[in-house]
């Protein structure tokens, strides 16, 4: 099983071991485009693995802060109260880079940059860049993906 994220197509595709498409869905990558540098707010390219799966058993729209459930459930009213929050909802698939000096170690380390595949408010636009570096998904799509992928599933992020 492996995941391909296309920045150009703003899509995530999950393939089974035989290379057949299991799931394909729209996503939103970084508003600032592709890049690996810490502090760039760009989506890192290259080979990654899912290092941690966070949030199993939490309700849909559970709010995460620093990878921990905050106890809040996202609502439009909560969003209005905190308009500048970067909403990380439902589940987190925390990515770790596999390519030293490209997306692993030093100032390009995807895991140290807290790059995730995570859920978003229903109002978040998918299919166009808009995140702060992470890969945003619709909650329903993320729940399906989360249940299908074990830790250390490979994830390749490309510009094509």
Domains and CATH numbers, the chain: 2-158 (2.40.440.10)
Token pair 């940059």: residue:
113
Gap between the Cα atoms of 102 and 18, Å rounded: 28
Kindly report, residue by residue over 108-133, the tens digit of the pLDDT. Answer: 999 999 999 999 999 999 999 999 99
Kindly report, residue by residue over 127-154, the tens digit of the pLDDT. Answer: 999 999 999 999 999 999 999 999 999 9
Gap between the Cα atoms of 117 and 49, Å rounded: 11
Q: What is residue 139's predicted lDDT score, i.e. its pLDDT?
A: 98
Q: Do 136 and 130 touch, CB atoms closer than 8 A?
A: yes
Q: In what helix (H) or strand (E) does residue 66 lie, and over which residues does it extend?
A: none
Provide the token pair at 20.
Answer: 């057949």
Q: Do 44 and 33 touch, CB atoms closer than 8 A?
A: no
First to last CA, the chain: 20
């Amino acid at each position: 099983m492996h995941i391909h994220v296309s920045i150009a197509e703003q899509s995530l595709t999950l393939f089974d071991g035989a290379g057949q498409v299991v799931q394909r869905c729209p996503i939103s990558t970084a508003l600032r485009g592709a890049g690996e540098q810490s502090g760039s707010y760009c989506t890192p390219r290259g080979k990654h693995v899912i290092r941690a799966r966070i949030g199993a058993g939490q309700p849909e729209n559970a709010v995460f802060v620093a990878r921990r459930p905050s106890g809040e459930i996202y609502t439009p009213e909560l969003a209005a109260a905190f308009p500048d929050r970067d909403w990380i909802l439902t589940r987190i698939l925390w990515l770790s880079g596999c390519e030293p000096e490209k997306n692993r170690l030093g100032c390009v380390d995807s895991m140290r940059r807290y790059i995730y595949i995570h859920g978003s408010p229903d109002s978040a636009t998918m299919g166009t860049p808009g995140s702060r570096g992470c890969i945003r998904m619709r909650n329903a799509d993320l729940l399906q993906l989360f249940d299908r992928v074990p830790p250390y599933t490979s994830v390749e992020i490309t510009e094509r």
